[in-house]
Structure 1
């Protein structure tokens, strides 16, 4: 395996590195691998079921020069069994993905990550993805501010004149040993397309120019923990003013857990006010198995949002038990509905039951078995939705 990792790293250093420099580098290796088999039925309410077996390999290599400077790389290979270009008979595919490649360095008390990396803002309600950009994080005792830029499009000249992406600033405050508070401000700009009239005049259609102001908190107590997020979304979309918000609250009390979240929808698209919470590009908040992606993250049921949260109310209650040292069982009950009716005047997504069994086959290797069933509401469709699957995963 390390020979494979070393070969991948060689592509990154194709320009050549002096032997005297390489000898001073501490080489750190790691990775992740998984294979899944799953079936999803009635997700699109078309009477059809979908199933596949797929695999993913991630190889991590970090060149650590010293405690203040390292160069981080993550490579990925994805394939569906029996499909080109990598999973067909003969394999030998040319699939090679670079997930991360960034410099991580600290000058004084300021840590900077520059390049292709991952980041999470507001638990994924605003952003949880990989991107090209920069994150700067000074450290001042119990206060940890961070700011950066997530690039969606950045070109100027040659017929292009725009900068689209997410600029953010947040401050982590360790209020006490048990309480952490993180207020943040995010600005999101994006061009959603243009139109051309009969005279050749180009007019933007629905440009996003939105901002978010909010805070997360995490509270630890003797009986468990509580977390929450509250976000106000303002700005404008084209000629419409954005006035929206999102709230989420969760608890974890050992064997029991639960959460609830609400993101506003737009009750009248013609009134000049957009009241639906805006999902920036890169927003991913996973929740239930069927309505919220879950561990198979292939598709969601009809009517439910696909990535970030908008026009949704969802509530969850669940339990996690360990009947044996290597065995964990998790059961969850979810109810979800739209905050505002859909175009058919419906709002109920349904009641979902999820079960997941996890067994540690050996150190660092787990197998998960999942069963999920959604009793469809009118906003989902007439047919109930079903999902089942297994996943074998390894971390090293």
Structure 2
């Protein structure tokens, strides 16, 4: 090839490379995430299963870590792809099969597959309507302090602002057990064995200090058998909420009513009430919160107990608890003494919580107290008091995005978790023996934990 032809070829290749590289060069790559180490000394947590309440409970130490990596491919202010991944490990490793990968890399020499998908979705603004769309696996939280649902789910969520109104509409498919067999015309099953959540939410700003909200959540559940989550067929939930800034106080009251069908023979009629408040006092703030979830006193006939989507996807972080309710700071070991079932197997529950938080230079601190009991008893012998928790935490900011802290929590158990066999509520049945499964443990010791953590956010 002549020199002239060589130069023409090089020029052509260079032009092609430049042309194809334009989109990549224009793309903004954003990386964010976190790393958290947590060590526990506890007589109730082991780092493997949920809370274990028992007489003469033994105390042990375990440590775990979590890293989250958030990568956003941003084409422009109106279009981006959001991906969120997670890596969890217990120091020493989780024995046995870990999510199909053998171990969680905390074992000797690590080298295991532990990368988990948390979120992958497209976030864009429609150029025609101005509506924001999120399409894919994405996080979603209810407007009721997550007492109903906080989870990552596959779906489509649209939000449109009509100042002073903001309206949202969403569809999520949280379960799909459809197979080629069920899709056959003569299979005897519904063609689609699915669970769907429909969301309609509205927020109206009366002023900069008063915002009112209303919502509708609908659960359509066609799943069956052992794959059935949740346990009911159809649920409608309507509710109202508000964000109120009243001088030094920020108050968020809420209420919701549920109706629908447990199954073909039982109806649902349940409700929730709650409020969260923060008041500036001195160098910090006083926190207060409360909730009530209706319960069913007999477990038969129509259902009066408040329904969630699943126990593992409900929270109440404003409580600032570590044991009565799982902590909002928790990572892998995200459990409570109730096994995260805020409904106590349909009995409902109520809680009152208060605390104080503040900071002095690089030091931050908080102290809290909380009380919980069941809303209903199902036998004359059943006890209702779950317990009272006290906890405190102090920390120090080594850098703006790196902090260390230590916390301690103790629960004075009520008889619903530590009483006699008859006093502790039945929450299930042993699949092998048929024996009833009850809350807590006979004469269970009061649970406690001491937590140390290192937290880095970037």
**TM (normalized to structure 2)?**
0.76
Larger mean Cα displacement after TM superposition, 330-339 or 81-90: 81-90
Q: CA RMSD in A?
A: 2.4
Give how far 1:194 is off: 3.3
Report the counterpart of residue 364 of structure 2 in structure 1.
328
Report the counterpart of residue 241 of structure 1 in structure 2.
267
Report the counterpart of residue 449 of structure 2 in structure 1.
387
DSSP 3-state at the match of 2:26? coil
Equivalenced residue count is 371
| 8 A contact 1:285–1:307 mirrored in 2 | no
Correspondence list, 1:263-274, <5 A: 263-270=293-300, 272-274=301-303
Report the counterpart of residue 289 of structure 2 in structure 1.
259
Report the counterpart of residue 121 of structure 1 in structure 2.
142
Report the counterpart of residue 173 of structure 1 in structure 2.
204
| 1:104 and 2:127 are equivalent in the alignment | no
User: Equivalents in 2 of 1:154, 1:167: separation in Å?
Assistant: 15
| 1:291 and 2:291 are equivalent in the alignment | no
| 8 A contact 2:368–2:392 mirrored in 1 | yes
1:300/1:342 Cα in 2 relative to 1: closer, same or farther (>3 Å)?
A: farther
User: Equivalents in 2 of 1:351, 1:69: separation in Å?
Assistant: 48
> Unaligned regions of 5+ residues in structure 2, if any?
1-19, 45-50, 94-102, 183-191, 419-442
> Unaligned regions of 5+ residues in structure 1, if any?
1-17, 196-202
DSSP 3-state at the match of 2:324? coil
Give how far 1:218 is off: 0.8
Report the counterpart of residue 162 of structure 1 in structure 2.
193
Give how far 1:242 is off: 0.8
Correspondence list, 1:1-396, <5 A: 19-42=21-44, 43-46=51-54, 47-49=57-59, 51-83=61-93, 84-107=103-126, 108-122=129-143, 123-154=145-176, 158-160=180-182, 161-191=192-222, 193-194=224-225, 207-238=232-263, 239-254=265-280, 255-270=285-300, 272-281=301-310, 282-286=313-317, 287=319, 288-294=321-327, 295-296=329-330, 298=333, 300-303=335-338, 305-306=340-341, 311-322=348-359, 324-341=360-377, 345-381=382-418, 382=443, 383-396=445-458
- Quick check: which one's strand share is greater? 1
User: Equivalents in 2 of 1:257, 1:379: separation in Å?
Assistant: 27
Give how far 1:393 is off: 0.6
1:180/1:334 Cα in 2 relative to 1: closer, same or farther (>3 Å)?
A: same
User: Equivalents in 2 of 1:279, 1:50: separation in Å?
Assistant: 33
Give how far 1:395 is off: 0.7
DSSP 3-state at the match of 1:315? strand
